[in-house]
Amino acid sequence: MGLRGFANLLKARSGTASLRALEPKARTVAALMHSDADPAAQLAATGRDGEVQRLAALCRSASRELGLHPYPEQILAALGLVKGYSIDMATGEGKTLVAVLAAGMMATAGRQVHVLCPNDYLAARDHELATAMLAPLGIATGCTLADTSTADRSTAYRCRVVHSTVQEIAYDLMRDGLVLDPGDLVHPVLDVALVDELDSVLLDEATQPLVIAQTTSDATARARESRLAALMTRLERGLDYTTDPVAGSASFTDRGIAAVESEMSVPNLFAADQVSLMAAANAALHAHAILVRDVDYVVRPEGIALVSPTKGRVVDRQRWPEGLQRAVEAKEHIEAASRVQVMDQLSVQEVVRSYRTCLGLSATATLAATPLHDRYGFLVAHVPPHRPLIRVDEPAELYLSAAQRDRAVVERAGAEQRAGRPVLVGTQSIEHSRQLGEQLADAGVAATVLNATNAAQEAQIIAQAGLPATVTISTQMAGRGTDIVLTNTARINGGLVVIGAGRYPTPRLDAQLRGRAGRQGDPGSTVLMGALDDPLLSVDADSTTGRDVAIDADARGRVLDPELNEQVEHQQRALEARMLAEHEQAWLFTKVPAEQRREVLRSRRAVLEEPLAARREIFRHLGPTVQADLASLLGDDLDRVCAQVVLHTLDERWSAHLAFLTNLREGIHLRRLARLSPLVEFEREAREHFHGFLEAVAAESTALLNDAASRNVVPDSPRRGPGALWAYEVIQMGWGSPEDKFVEAVGRQIRALLRS
């Protein structure tokens, strides 16, 4: 069977490329796959055909150990990855096997490969497949998950192929930057990263901060947050506060500010000594007016669990910024007297940029080829499906209201169920899934809801989703990693029907939902249904979408004007462009902190690896009597304790610097008042605050040791056990654009001056 490559080589600046030149090599691999050659000899092959021989051995192992016979397209995709291209392959085309084939090839060439999956479940699943296929060939495999012990992590990272998540790699890098004993290092080697769901991870989630923290007690702040949460329930929308659903922001009116001042017994909420209260009040308002239970978060016995805005489901170890997290906990009457002290943080983008080589796979990488190329230098190559796509993508539908759209969804799902076809309904929130489930039940249509509240059962639910007349409602499908496999009867009845109940913010997400139907040449069809009152159509405040004029619609409320349907695509493109611009701006604000972090880590590693040198440096600043007293007090532990005092001091000062940077970043856009660049001012103040950082660490460490010697007490430098630190991802909320914050702040300042 011949391979179908890209017809033309496109310009590199577009971010796409062709694999046509690799097709002859792929055909050779396919032929060798059925030979009787010795696998060991093939893996050791070098020279011009060494690559072909190694890949053939890996393909034979997949066939022998897993019963998976790589298609020519999968072979081509693996070769493309090895040659440095990121791969666009449709859903159901076997990206998991492609990643293992490519990882095996790179491992046999001496590289160390991290296959980064969307979540722990998929990392564990894919690791099992990789182990079964690669272990017989002598290629060591490992896996690091949230519950992996420190010892097992260290062992895993010595393997040639490691399955994990980008979050887990980041947490291990940060933990290594906080250890007090070299024996606790796990050493993840950042050589090659193969990223699954490439565009989702590297574009949609790239700037989300990943945090290592420890808890501190603050019962006073909790009491204040509880009072503010209670006050919010008594305020009236429109009178005490206003909301902007597009920006996802809420603002107090003068009456609302007066209510806060009265409740908290402060004369002026804008006074310099009330900055903390102002921040807490705004967080309480956002929690009350913007965040919705079962849409943005769910409440569990152990506390608040966030729904990922990019995945549409609960993702473990995620939090909002600290003030907002505590405000939501107070809103839901959840006891959480502890605050978090951030010890270190990284972004996804910083992690992947640290690898020598980073590549990936996705079903929608071509749609994101330009930003992937502009931001990371990636070239995306499209690999066609093994069998021709026969799925029918129906024209998108637009309705006057969400209620009319949902009725159309129910009618269509019921009709397809009666025809014996499996149906997948895609929603964007848990609450919408629940509502549609109830409406379908009222209409006599049996349906199963797959969303953030029962994601642990998703594999079983999806396994049944390909049965005839089965209706499944899902909150987001991207990154679930499980294909909907049709039965023969379902194929005969026309295959899977995908119904999008609402349009996603970007064309890529719509394409990911459509891609669930028509896998591997199966029949199927898709239809996307939007509504004029969907949030998507409110992105551009200057756009009217025709709501102020007569709209041509049928009796069911379906809009007949094609220009309004085109407006949806326009809004998606506008929103995606804005999101990418915001991410790029956020990335610019991480550059100086990243430089400072690297300097701190270099100094820290020197102290960790050379405690004797660290002690001698400290002793240069201590008198002979103090040196003798410390030597007598600490004995053989002198070098270790002195080094740990330095490390502990450095960690605390870095934590304080991170807190300063966070506060600086939150208010930096007010610098526009003085016609200053927020980015330039942020970088200037960040550098000024960091100036003398290492000298201050040395001075404080010297003072601590001097004090210990004078009191004849061993310095307090506690060891951090594995449970002392915890890791999580900070979900940034849209509290309005920087310009919105600026204008709002100006108005507040003016009102404050008028009242003073």
Report residue 446 CA to chain centroid gap: 33
CA torsion sign for 460, 463, 465, 469 is negative
Q: Is 524 in contact with 493 (CB distance < 8 Å)?
A: no
Asked if residue 94 belongs to a known ligand binding site, the reply is yes
CB within 8 A of 432, min separation 6: which ones? Answer: 475, 501, 502
Q: Is 430 in contact with 559 (CB distance < 8 Å)?
A: no
Count Cβ atoms within 10 A of the Cβ of residue 554 and give its class: 0-12 exposed, 13-18 middle, 19 or more buried: exposed
Euclidean distance between CA atoms 212 and 113, whole angstroms: 24
Count Cβ atoms within 10 A of the Cβ of residue 712 and give its class: 0-12 exposed, 13-18 middle, 19 or more buried: exposed
Q: Is 135 in contact with 141 (CB distance < 8 Å)?
A: yes
Q: Is 738 in contact with 326 (CB distance < 8 Å)?
A: no
Q: What is the CA radius of gyration of the chain?
A: 29
> Per-residue b/e over 393-428, b at no fewer than 16 CB within 10 Å?
beebbbbbebebbbbbbbebbbebbeeebbbbbbbb
CB within 8 A of 86, min separation 6: which ones? Answer: 198, 359, 360, 361, 362, 365, 372, 378, 379, 380, 381
DSSP letter string over 549-586? S---B-TT-BB--HHHHHHHHHHHHHHHHHHHHHHHHH
Asked if residue 95 belongs to a known ligand binding site, the reply is yes
Euclidean distance between CA atoms 289 and 226, whole angstroms: 16
Q: Is 78 in contact with 17 (CB distance < 8 Å)?
A: no
Residues composing the chain: 756
Asked if residue 96 belongs to a known ligand binding site, the reply is yes
Here the tokens at position 470 are 């089965």
DSSP letter string over 394-424? PPPEEESSHHHHHHHHHHHHHHHHHTT--EE
CB within 8 A of 83, min separation 6: which ones? Answer: 22
Annotated binding site: 74, 92-96, 483
Annotated binding site for ATP: 74, 92-96, 483
